[in-house]
Chains A and B, each alone.
Chain A
Amino acid sequence: MSAQGNGAVRFDGAADNRRSGGVSKETINAIVVFALSIVLILGSRFVSPALGSWSQVLTVLTLASFLIVVSFGQGLVVMIGGLDLSIPAVITLGGVLTAGWVGAGNAGAWYLLPAILALCGLVGAFNGFGVTVLRIPPFIMTMATSIILASAALGYTSGTPRGASPEALTVLMKTSWLGVPAVVFFVVLFVLAGWALQSRTVFGRRLYAVGANPDAARVAGVSVGAASTLAYVASAVCAGFVGMMLVGYANGATLRMGDSYMLPSIAAVVIGGSSILGGSGSFVGTVGGAILLTTLGTVIAAIGLEQGWRTVIEGGIIVAALFFLREELFARLRRPGRS
């Protein structure tokens, strides 16, 4: 029952007792998604005794860290009513360049890693330019970028990416501190910063405005083109960074390393309560969505099916999750009584 359910009230002045600041749709959504994840982890003991343990929780969080970071970028783009389908290609770009340019050791990492991220940002700027200036629909523009990048990566690597993980990334992905993987600490900080950026900064506020109604945002003095382009840049930088994290985790790059993040990145955002049409949502919900999807993935993996079947089931579960966890259903939860 929401804090607003204080009896019958109406629109006009004196008789209006409605309260603001009750439990928001986003909060309820995030709580439900997190709760589902916990239930799933506890319940997974029935599938296999190895599951449901503390170490499995840490494994899930480590695996979820990749999805959390890409979904943050995807969430910003979805927020403005766009869609970034170039994320897998940019992950691969970040990964291939990190392994190829820096390689094992730490030589030059301090300037090469930022340079690689900047290059990924340029890819995002290209997406933003196509969408805002050339007015190409986002899914076509980002898909085209994706194809261009994939082809370039294939040519650059002659099909076989070389190199290994820089030491800094290995430290991030492979060491633990007080029994908790370093990357989990990193992700906690990332989530705090991402939440603040999306929900508390001027930039985030402008993205909400653009997504809610670009014409009205323009009248209100928001530079719609610049704000939208920055969202694509942020998305590409996040994807590039996930490429680096994957290199640290797997100690190398492959040409298909980003492929499995396309649908999950969108699904995590939508399951987390954002409208796919833009203008609503919070990063905390998206994080819940990412953790829930990753938990599902590990449970399915534990059942021991072949990779092909696992992918089929994952796809089916994502569709089901999108159907059941849409924001309209949460909106209904908030309305006691009549419907």
Chain B
Amino acid sequence: MVGELADALVVEGIAKAYGATVALERVDLSLRAGEVHALLGENGAGKSTLVKILSGVVRPDAGRMTLAGAAFAPHALLDSRAAGVATAFQELSLLPNLTVAENLMMPRMPRGALGLASARATRAAARDILARYGLSRIDAAEKVGALALAERQRLEIVRAMEHASKVLVLDEPTAALAEVEWLFGLVRRVTARGVAVLYISHRLAEVRALCARATVLRNGRSIATVDLSGASDADIFEMMVGRRVRGERAVRARPAADAPAVIALDRLSGGSLREVSLTLGKGEVLGIAALEGQGQRDLFRILAGLARPSGGTIRIDGAATSLRNPRAALKAGGGLAYVPEERKTEGILSSLTAAGNITLPVAGRIARGGLIWKGLEQGAARRVSGHVDLAERYLGFPVGDLSGGNQQKALLARTLLTGARTLLLFDPTRGVDVGTKQSIYAAIRRFADDGGSVLFYSSELPEVIDLADRCLVLYGGRVFAEFAGDELEEHRLVGALVGHAAGPGKEGADAARGAAR
């Protein structure tokens, strides 16, 4: 029996620098066996580096770690896993070309006759694991690359839980999950057997629901470890960013009801989207709310020119249009510019500078005499970097060296610089910190105030409510409900998300709340 107060993992004075860049200056942290301990901090505070150190991916320059009383200095991922410390990474670490079963069982596959890896035994063992974690619906023989993002994330979590005998690290485990009860149940199960959980999330509500204590990182230092019951949200934000953050809804003049439609969809189908009709008015911010996999991805990919519709019509600024590719979308009507869901794979070009990334779509326009000069490029990028609060000194850096929040700002700046009058933003604040969120919200509002139109999807309801003039709820690939103005309330949206009739009573909302967070 593990004592309630026994320290499972103690981290003392950990520091790590990459060349001249100090990622961690000094981090102290202790995890008690059986507790869920939150790690909070803005992007770039050093959370990812700490995760990498705990999981053995990188080695610290200084400091020491103690695991259940013994020195802990993993040299590789498998070292830390063997010691009982397992991590579910934010950037999922599954191999997309292997099956679910192979990913779960690697690197020790069950052997069959002749000592070769046995596919059948592997699948059986994997099915057994999936069943224990309530994921029997996932086919163990399916290639991981074919799974939806949310299922991949669940798989990543399950794999880590299977290996975590002492410490489980969950890095943004709910970034792609629309409902969290499944995860919370499993977390309680592992803590019950004495495993310490380090829980990293930007969603404070989740953290409060799950964790008793939290350690706040800022600028590569551990600022404090606090009892969450004794700290207000504002206290915590202040510790994270060093200043107070306003969270109220900005008052914005509603766009005129008779504003001309910049996007008009009539019975649009494609992928899991079923006959969706909607209009986006000039100067309007239209939010899309939906649980994972209700067709929102297909809607955005079709409008961005990345997927073809199977039926229905698209009118941009009144003219019927087929959006053949992203270039055509940028040129359709006033232009549609897209900020994709997955920053790393579809967003940034990591070897180019931030300025190079921002100016890529307009490279032809900023060139003089066919040549792009650094000054021209920086000048063009500067015109929009201020709109998204992207510090000018970052413009000359390779964008891959910037924090996730700054990368997202650069991507938003890029869409602004294209001059497109309509922005398509898919979960624009996924995995970014509080400060960056505020900058992104401000940029979106200003864009709409200047007459631009915004269609955005968010996995966080408060964001939809704060930002949208009007909100459509997608369910089963169809527009299930519409809310505008004062109807935009969390309990109404929650009901619609899970397919309850629009505007359910309080009870229905409460029942659905867990599933819809």
1/0 per position for A7-21, CB-CB distance to B under 8 A?
Answer: 111111101101111
Asked whether A213 and B396 contact (CB < 8 A) given A11-B23, A15-B219, the answer is no
Which of B18, B345, B373 is close to A215, meaning CB atoms less than 8 Å apart?
B345
- Cβ A9 vs Cβ B20 within 8 A: yes
Which B residues are in CB contact (< 8 Å) with A219? 304, 306, 326, 338, 340, 346-347
Which B residues are in CB contact (< 8 Å) with A336? 19-20
The CA of A215 and the CA of B373, in the complex, are separated in Å by 25
1/0 per position for B324-348, CB-CB distance to A under 8 A?
Answer: 0111001000000010100001111
Interface status of B232 (Cβ within 8 A of chain A) = no
- Cβ B348 vs Cβ A213 within 8 A: yes
- Cβ B370 vs Cβ A212 within 8 A: no
Instruction: Give the secondary structure class of A's interface.
Output: loop
The CA of A220 and the CA of B306, in the complex, are separated in Å by 11
Which of A208, A215, A221, A223 is close to B418, meaning CB atoms less than 8 Å apart?
A221
1/0 per position for B16-45, CB-CB distance to A under 8 A?
Answer: 011111110100000000000000001011
- Cβ A216 vs Cβ B19 within 8 A: no
Interface status of A175 (Cβ within 8 A of chain B) = no
Asked whether A20 and B353 contact (CB < 8 A) given A201-B370, A218-B326, A221-B330, the answer is yes
The CA of A21 and the CA of B394, in the complex, are separated in Å by 11
Number of interface residues of A (CB under 8 A): 43
The CA of A288 and the CA of B12, in the complex, are separated in Å by 48
The CA of A195 and the CA of B326, in the complex, are separated in Å by 29
Chain B nearest Cβ from A132, distance in angstroms: 13
Which B residues are in CB contact (< 8 Å) with A205? 356, 360, 363, 372
- Cβ B373 vs Cβ A202 within 8 A: no
- Cβ B21 vs Cβ A18 within 8 A: yes
Which residue in chain A gives the minimum CB-CB distance to B373? A200
Which A residues are in CB contact (< 8 Å) with B393? 16, 18-20
Interface status of A45 (Cβ within 8 A of chain B) = no
Asked whether A20 and B23 contact (CB < 8 A) given A202-B370, A220-B414, A279-B351, the answer is no
Asked whether A217 and B23 contact (CB < 8 A) given A20-B395, A200-B371, the answer is no
- Cβ B371 vs Cβ A196 within 8 A: yes
- Cβ B372 vs Cβ A202 within 8 A: yes
Interface status of A171 (Cβ within 8 A of chain B) = no
Asked whether A216 and B371 contact (CB < 8 A) given A7-B20, A279-B351, A334-B19, the answer is no
- Cβ A216 vs Cβ B345 within 8 A: yes
Segment 148-169 of B: residues with Cβ below 8 Å from A:
none
How many chain B residues sit at the interface, stated as a range, is 35 or more
- Cβ A215 vs Cβ B363 within 8 A: no
The CA of A215 and the CA of B304, in the complex, are separated in Å by 13
Chain A nearest Cβ from B237, distance in angstroms: 15
- Cβ A21 vs Cβ B22 within 8 A: no
- Cβ B360 vs Cβ A222 within 8 A: yes
The CA of A133 and the CA of B370, in the complex, are separated in Å by 28
- Cβ A18 vs Cβ B326 within 8 A: no
- Cβ B351 vs Cβ A280 within 8 A: yes
Chain B nearest Cβ from A204, distance in angstroms: 8
Interface status of B361 (Cβ within 8 A of chain A) = yes
Interface status of A158 (Cβ within 8 A of chain B) = no
- Cβ B20 vs Cβ A216 within 8 A: no
Interface status of B146 (Cβ within 8 A of chain A) = no
- Cβ B20 vs Cβ A5 within 8 A: yes
- Cβ B372 vs Cβ A208 within 8 A: no
The CA of A6 and the CA of B19, in the complex, are separated in Å by 11
The CA of A6 and the CA of B21, in the complex, are separated in Å by 10
Question: Which 5 interchain pairs have the tightest Cβ spacing?
Answer: A20-B396, A11-B44, A335-B19, A212-B349, A221-B361
Q: 29 interchain pairs (CB within 8 A)?
A: A8-B22, A9-B20, A10-B22, A16-B391, A18-B21, A18-B393, A20-B353, A20-B393, A201-B372, A205-B360, A205-B363, A205-B372, A209-B360, A212-B352, A213-B346, A215-B345, A217-B360, A218-B326, A219-B338, A219-B347, A220-B349, A221-B330, A222-B327, A222-B360, A222-B361, A223-B325, A223-B327, A336-B19, A337-B17
Residues of A within 8 A of B (CB): 2, 4-13, 15-16, 18-21, 196, 200-202, 205-206, 208-209, 212-213, 215-223, 279-280, 334-338
